[in-house]
Amino acid sequence: MPCDFPELIAALAPRPLLTIAPRQDEIFVLPGVMKCLDAARPVYELLGARDNLQARFPDGAHNFTDSERRAAYEFLDKFLKPG
């Protein structure tokens, strides 16, 4: 079944979304990730939620390193922790 990820990502706005896309990932290749983010960015901006859409592009292959894990936890803390 075909899936239009750019539209799905844009439909998440204004909810917080962090994308961690390693530059040499062979599964989720960077051009496809960028296409999704480029489609979603105007929607987030229109809704006044520019900071809710964030992305990180570490060097390396499909992996979730300690530094990226920490960044993800910080993102979650920022948007989910009360007060």
By residue count, the chain amounts to: 83
pTM: 0.87
Give the pLDDT score at 53. 97
Give the pLDDT score at 2. 57
Give the pLDDT score at 1. 47
- pLDDT tens, residue order, the chain (83 aa): 456 788 999 999 999 999 999 999 998 899 999 999 999 999 999 999 999 999 999 999 999 999 999 999 999 999 999 87
Q: Which residues of 27-53 are buried (b: 16+ CB within 10 A; e: fewer)?
A: eeeeeebeebbebbbebbeeeeeeebb
CB 54 within 8 A of CB 20: no
